[in-house]
Structure 1
């Protein structure tokens, strides 16, 4: 593997993890170093760090907090 490609991979922990989990990327990068951007994109989607994934995670958190607030309010209200 080219040294400059290897340095970029070493700097990004997600790329290094993906390369270890899916070794076919090593062969792809050896043959075609221009696929580094594709590797980066695949890593973002593989580790669920894309914008839609982050929005979904945030939405789930807000929904959970709302449910907890409603539950606490229901517990606080005296039953008749």
Structure 2
């Protein structure tokens, strides 16, 4: 693997973890270092860090809070 790619991965713990869980990426990055951008996008999807995934998680949390508020209001009556 190119030293620049290794340095980049060494300082990004999420990418390092992704590669350890998907070892075929060692081979891909060794052969073509330009795929570092591709692995970055795949790691974001894998760990749920894309914008749509974050919005879905926020909406889920809001629904949960609303449900808890409704349940608390039901106990007061």
Please classify the TM superposition score into its range, dividing by the shorter chain length. over 0.9
Match for residue 56 of structure 2? 56
Q: What is the aligned partner in structure 2 of residue 68 from structure 1?
A: 68
Matched, 1:39 2:55: no
Displaced runs of 4 or more, over 3 A: none
Q: Give, in angstroms, the shift of residue 9 of structure 1.
A: 0.3
Instruction: Provide the alpha-carbon RMSD of the alignment.
Output: 0.4
The alpha-carbon deviation at position 68 of structure 1 amounts to: 0.4
Q: Is the radius of gyration larger for structure 1 or structure 2?
A: 1
Aligned to 1:13: 13
Q: TM-score, normalised by structure 1?
A: 0.94
Gaps of 5+ in 2: none
